Amino acid sequence: MKRNKITYIILLFFSIGVLYVIQQLFMPKYISTIQEGSLVEEYYLEKANHDVLFIGDCEVFSNISPIKLWEEYGITSYIRGSAQQLIWHSYYLLEDALRYEKPKAVVYNVLAMKYNEPQKEAYNRLTLDGMKLSTTKIKALKASMMEDESLLSYIVPILRYHSRWKELTLEDFKYMFKKDKVSHNGYLMRVDTKPVGYLPRERRLPDYQFGDNSYEYLERITKLCKDNDVELILIKSPSVYPYWHEQWDEQIREYAEKNDIQYINFLDYVEEMNIDYERDTYDGGLHLNLIGAEKFTDYFGQILKENYNLPDHRNDESLKKVWEDKIAFYNQMKKEQEEELRLYGYLKSVGEAAQKIDE
Amino acid sequence: MLFTTSNFIFFIIILTVLYYLIPKKLQWVLLLIGSLIFYGIAGTSYLIYISLTVVSTYLVTIKIDKIQEIYDANIKENKEKLSREERKAIKAEANGKKRFWLVLALLFNFGILAVLKYSDFVVSNIYKDFGGFGFVLPLGISFYTFQTMGYLIDVYWGKYRAEKNVFKLGLFTSFFPQLIQGPISRFDDLKSTLFAEKDFNWDNFEFGVQRILWGYFKKLVIADRLLIAVNTIIRDPGTYQGAYVLLGMFFYAIQLYADFTGGIDIAIGVGQVLGIKLKENFNRPYFSKSIVEYWRRWHITLGTWFRDYMFFPISVSKPMINLSKYLRKNVNNELGKRVPIYIATLLVWLTTGIWHGAAWNFVVWGLGNGIVILISQELSPLYDKFHNKFDVKDKFYFKVFQIVRTFWLMSFLRTFDCYRDVGTTFKMYYSIFTVRNLNEIFSGGLMKLGLAIEDYILLTAGVVLLLLVSLYQRSGGIRIRLSKKPIFLNYILFFVLFLSIIIFGTYGIGFDQSQFIYSQF
Amino acid sequence: MDIIVEMLEDLHPEVDFEQCSSLIDDKILDSFDIVSLVTDLSEEFDITISVEELTPENFNSAKSIYEMVQRLID
């Protein structure tokens, strides 16, 4: 048989193409359920620069509204948050973001300091799958992977998600190449309310000392900000639970003092912010709903504005149009969610994300 | 580094590229280095054991070769001078020396195998509370020991001369595709391609890759999926009795076939990519019409090893022939003819059983096979009578009956290597006749074995494909036929195979939606 | 030679042993047959057939078996 090199090359490209399409089909879409999975990826759609970047876990992407920050103070911001974002995730997401833009300030929510080691493969996936392939991503993977994970399956994720063939849905086909936006500059909106009910008691820990690994990455974040001439601000978001221990607070306070960074524990300002845990949370005190988030954002925005001298961009013509669209999307989603709430009594569109306390 | 890891695939790709880039003279050296890396990754200490086997075999075969050389020279030089008696004496002396070295090497190498593999089993049968020596059994030691000892015996028999290069013998022993699960090669057979200088050959490459893909398909899509159900059944003999036992036998038959032949396909395919021809190890065994035939078609290289190096040597050994002569004289001709065969058969099957694993299950399994073979041998005149009387021998339905009968007979015997112990196996046999639960299986029981309906559909399709390919093979190789088809079609076919391995393969961490359900922190 | 053919026919009456020269290659004789043949031959000709002799070349035809026996008698 005569063999033609060109035929082979064509076949090879064809195969890679088919494989890519199939991979797109098999990737989880995180549209109607587990929307958090879309957050990291959505960042790359963003064109504009931001003055403030938030990094951290759900306590940033549920509690802070960049739209509100714009509306009230003209601050441009983006949240690079993700589900159970551990501190090395945060570090590399920041490193990744700095390749695209240079913010004036970075805000890190310190809750994840309590995790010194990788916790669960699924959370690695939720945070890292969305990252664009780069040396930063590879480094992030190496820092995050659990023992039984393979690097290859992050680079060629079909190797991870192939067994979804049993559960492919219409959504997988619909959003193969283009997904709907789920967040508002990284903020996941929830308008529903679930007041604080049962509260687990504060559990004593055998050891309150944050781990070496956590500290190492906190130091690396600090250094990265310093090297890039970015102000670092450490915060602890307002929430009823999980518990933020006194001893932890002290350690962060000490660290902040030593490194000359601001640390704000917003747990101390709940009353001042006028947050009411009977009305302003959607899951019994773990996270704020839209009303709560806007209250917190408003308060925090004031501090940012005053302490860091951030410019007001509201009159900046080039930004105005972009943010008007964002506001429209924000208000539309708010309206839709309120409508939904009226119709069904709960938020159908966010799916059945479990609201367990994972401690 | 098992065949089903991504590391192995990278290893093969890198090795293949290097193999065809370096000077051809060094190709076999690269293979040796590759094999040592492959083996060393599995366990550095393994390298010590395999080196012991290689070096001892090398030294002894060279020694045997020398003795033979001296003997030949002596005879040649003094042909006229020596009387027939003297010649015989010299020959006997040389043979004696050769045998001394042979026995030494056999004892040494089988000794290593025996100590590592069987000491725990033996001692724990004597002392009930014995905790085990804790030896680590080197990967593939049963295979490479047999392969090397076959070589040693061949040299002793004078089938061919000893290999003068210890590293070549090292490669023969450690060649990585066959190291873990065979096929067991013969030196004279393998050496022509193993040490040869090879150009890259598209046909070999293509066929090799196709064979590898087919192997992965069998292993990952069929075997490893079915294994989930098999394990559910055999690990809980309290729950899964009666019809489940039969189901388990059936599943295990398919699983074992797909797993083992899949592994061999990968080994042979890798060999082919490298231009090295490994022996076929299976010849559609489940189409066998008798158990004797089955063993000629299943794990062929092991069967022929036992035949050549154990069955024949025992059955035609002096004591056996003398026993045969004695029986012929004192009892009758028939018995004299058969006793050597029977003794050798049972010994071979006992050993085959033990070779498979150090446990009573395997002893019973091995002897069971031997006994069934002997019974069917005894009954064969009866069969012939039956066949002649009813003239069914060439009828299609009768052949199907024979095939089905052999399949189930083997499945029953094979059950011994499933359950924990011999007692459980017999209990399960008993339950087949006493527990009536066939309905239960089809009214939901199947779904409780760890597989979903989609898996069963997939498995059915996979097995049908396996059958079709088998039937095609009967009428000539399927890949040669395919290669005559247009290149595009041919390629698409194998690309689809590749995709189905990627998608349907049982590997990696499964996607479990519940794992991903966000639990907020 | 005739004795050998007779022995073979004893094992497989349906085969024409005068003609066939691929007894092993075509799997007409199995290992059991070979061993019974060896015991027959050693009895009949009072020879020792050692295991090295059990090769396909030696057993593929009645003629090759005959030649082997001749050689061993010498």
CB atoms B6 and A242 under 8 Å: no
- In angstroms, rounded to a whole number, what is the distance separating the alpha carbons of residues B494 and B205? 14
Asked if residue A353 has pLDDT above 60, the reply is: no
Residue A12 identity (one-letter amino acid): L
Mean pLDDT for the stretch of residues A80-105: 93
Top residue of B289, B332, B337, B385 to mutate, by most chain C CBs within 10 Å, is B337
pLDDT of residue B510: 61
Please compute the mean of the pLDDT values over residues B280-287 and round it to a whole number.
90
Q: Quote the distance between the C-alpha of residue B70 and its chain's center.
A: 38
pLDDT in tens, B52-67: 999 999 999 999 999 9
What is the tally of structural domains in chain A? 1
Among the listed residues A152, A135, A18, the one whose alpha carbon sits nearest the alpha carbon of residue B9: A152
| Spatial CA neighbour of C53 closest among C72, C26, C27, C32 | C72
Whether the predicted pLDDT of B516 surpasses 50: no
Strands, DSSP E only, in B197-305? none
Q: Please indicate if any CB of chain B lies within 8 Å of the CB of A37.
A: yes
Is the CB of B520 less than 8 angstroms away from the CB of A15? Answer: no
Residues in chain C with CB shorter than 8 Å from the CB of B315 are 35, 38
A153:B508 CB<8 A: yes
B520, pLDDT greater than 50: no
Q: How far is C14 from chain B (nearest CA, A)?
A: 12
Phi, psi of B475 (to 5 degrees): -105, 50
Q: Give CA–CA dist B473/B25, Å, rounded.
A: 36
The CATH number assigned to the domain holding A309 equals 3.40.50.1110
Provide, as residue numbers in chain B, all residues whose Cβ is less than 8 Å from the Cβ of C39: 316, 321, 324, 336-337, 340
The total domain count for chain C is 1
Domain that residue A54 falls in: 41-118+182-344
Chain C residues lying within 8 Å of B321, measured CB to CB: 38-39, 42, 48
Q: B517–A34: do the CB atoms touch at under 8 Å?
A: yes
Residue B341: which of C36, C43, C52 has the nearest Cβ? C36
Q: What are the helix (H) ranges across B158-241?
A: 166-174, 176-179, 187-194, 202-216, 224-235
| Beta-bridge partner residues of A53 | A78, A106
Interface test with B, best of A153, A159, A163, A282 (most B CBs within 10 A): A163
Looking at chain B, which residue has its C-alpha nearest residue A23?
B503
pLDDT confidence bin for B131, thresholds 50/70/90: low
- In this complex, do C39 and B340 lie within 8 Å of one another by their Cβ atoms? yes
Whether pLDDT at B12 is above 90: yes
DSSP β-bridge partners for residue A109:
A235
pLDDT of A43-85, one tens digit each?
Answer: 999 887 899 999 999 899 999 999 999 999 999 999 999 988 9
Nearest 5 degrees, angle CA A99-CA A101-CA A102? 110
Interface test with C, best of B291, B292, B312 (most C CBs within 10 A): B312
* CATH number, position C24: 1.10.1200.10
Lowest mean pLDDT among A184-198, A345-359, B131-145: A345-359
Is a pLDDT exceeding 60 seen at residue A352?
no
pLDDT of residue B324: 85
Which chains touch B (3+ CB pairs under 8 A)?
A, C
Minimum distance, in Å, between the CA of residue C39 and any CA atom of chain B: 6
Q: Cβ distance B152 to B61 under 8 Å?
A: yes
Contact with chain C for residue B445, Cβ under 8 A = no
What is the gyration radius of the CA atoms in chain C, in angstroms? 11
The answer to whether residue C72 scores a pLDDT higher than 80 is yes
Euclidean distance between CA atoms A161 and A153, whole angstroms:
9
Distance of CA B146 to the CA centre of its chain: 11
Alpha-carbon B426 to chain mean position: 26
C54 to chain B, minimum CA–CA distance in Å?
8
- Give, as one character, the DSSP assignment of residue B440: H
User: Is B158 in Cβ contact with C43 (below 8 Å)?
Assistant: no
Q: Specify the pLDDT at position A345.
A: 80
Contact A356 B520 (CB under 8 A): yes
Instruction: Please say if the pLDDT value at position B418 is more than 90.
Output: no
The residues spanned by each domain of chain B are 6-189, 286-436
Disruptive mutation site among B220, B499, B520 for chain A (greatest number of A CBs within 10 Å): B520
Mutate to test the interface with B, among A39, A162, A240 (most CBs of B within 10 A): A162
Q: Are the beta carbons of B337 and C39 separated by less than 8 Å?
A: yes
**Confidence label for A143 from pLDDT (cuts 50, 70 and 90):** very high
Lowest mean pLDDT among A225-239, B161-175, B206-220, B478-492: B478-492
Q: Does B311 touch chain C (CB under 8 A)?
A: yes
pLDDT (average), residues A180-207 = 85
Q: How far is B160 from chain C (nearest CA, A)?
A: 12
Task: Report the distance separating Cα A85 and Cα A186, nearest Å.
Answer: 13
- Is the bond into B138 cis (omega within 30 degrees of 0)? no
Confidence of residue B250 (pLDDT cuts 50, 70, 90): very high
Alpha-carbon distances of A231 from A52, A97, B165, rounded to whole Å: 9, 15, 69
What token pair was written down for B27? 């190709």
What number is the average pLDDT over the span B403-431?
87
Q: Is pLDDT above 70 for A161? A: yes
Q: Is residue A293 part of a domain?
A: yes
Q: Is A11 on the interface with B (CB under 8 A)?
A: yes
Q: Are B240 and B428 in contact (CB under 8 A)?
A: no
The answer, for B486 touching chain A at a CB cutoff of 8 Å, is no
C-alpha pair distances (Å), C48 with each of B96, B102, B319, B325, C72: 17, 21, 12, 12, 7
- Assess A173–B contact: CB distance below 8 Å, yes or no: no
Count CB-CB contacts under 10 A for residue C59.
21
No. of H helices and E strands in chain B? 24, 0
pLDDT classification of A350: cutoffs 50, 70, 90: low
Asked if C67 reaches chain B (Cβ–Cβ under 8 Å), the answer is no
DSSP B279-326: PP--S-GGG-SSHHHHHHHSSHHHHHHHIIIIIHHHHTSHHHHHHHHH
- Rounded to 5 degrees, φ, ψ at A105 are -140, 150
Question: Taking CB atoms and an 8 Å cutoff, what residues of chain B touch A283?
Answer: 520
Domain-embedded: residue A167: no
Chains that touch C (3 or more CB pairs under 8 A): B
Residue type, A82: S
pLDDT (tens digit per residue) in B359-411 = 888 889 999 999 998 888 888 778 777 777 777 667 788 888 889 999 998 99
Task: Quote the pLDDT of residue B337.
Answer: 80
Chains C and A touch (3+ CB pairs under 8 A): no
At B323-359, the pLDDT tens digits run: 888 888 888 877 888 888 889 999 999 999 988 888 8
Closest partner CB to B519 (pick from A3, A153, A356)? A356
DSSP run (H or E) holding B52: helix B44-77
DSSP B18: H
Q: Is residue A11 part of a domain?
A: no
* Residues B311, C34: C-beta atoms closer than 8 Å: no
Q: Which residue range forms the structural domain that includes residue C23? A: 2-73
Chain segment C11-57, per-residue pLDDT in tens: 887 778 777 778 888 778 888 888 888 888 888 888 888 888 888 88
Interchain CB contacts (distance < 8 Å): B and C:
50
* Chain B residue closest in CA terms to A286: B520
Give contacts of B328 with chain C, Cβ < 8 Å: 43
Contacts of A162 in chain B (CB under 8 A): 502-505, 508
Contact B225, B459 (CB under 8 A): yes
Confidence of residue B4 (pLDDT cuts 50, 70, 90): confident
Identify which of B63, B167, B76 has the alpha carbon closest to the alpha carbon of residue B105: B63
Check if A28 contacts B (Cβ < 8 Å).
Answer: yes
pLDDT score of B171: 95
* Cβ under 8 Å to C: B residues 372-401: 377
| Residue whose C-alpha is closest to residue B107's, from B138, B158, B149, B166 | B149
Verify whether the Cβ–Cβ distance B321 to C34 is below 8 Å.
no
- Residues B83-104 have a mean pLDDT of 87
Q: Write out the two tokens for A345.
A: 């009594």
Residues B163-173: pLDDT tens digits? 999 999 999 99
> Counting every residue, how long is chain C?
74
Could you tell me how many residues make up chain A?
Answer: 359
| Integer CA distances (angstroms), B445 to B25, B168, B243, B463, in order | 60, 54, 10, 21
Q: What is the pLDDT of residues B207-225, one digit of tens each?
A: 899 999 999 999 999 998 9
Residue with tokens 């299976």: B282
The 3-state secondary structure of B231-289, one letter per residue: HHHHHCCCCCCCHHHHHHHHHHHHHHHHHHHHHHHHHHHHHHHCCCCCCCCCCCHHHCC
Interface of A with B in 178-237 (CB under 8 A): none
Give pLDDT, residue A97: 94
Per-residue pLDDT tens over the stretch A241-291: 788 889 999 999 999 999 999 999 999 998 899 988 888 988 888 889 999
Round the average pLDDT of chain B to a whole number and report it.
Answer: 86
A358 confidence band (pLDDT: 50, 70, 90) = very low
> How large is the ipTM?
0.89
Q: Which of B308, B328, B341 sits opposite C32 (nearest CB)?
A: B341
pLDDT range class, residue A303, cuts 50, 70, 90: very high
Structure-block tokens of residue B60: 């002894």
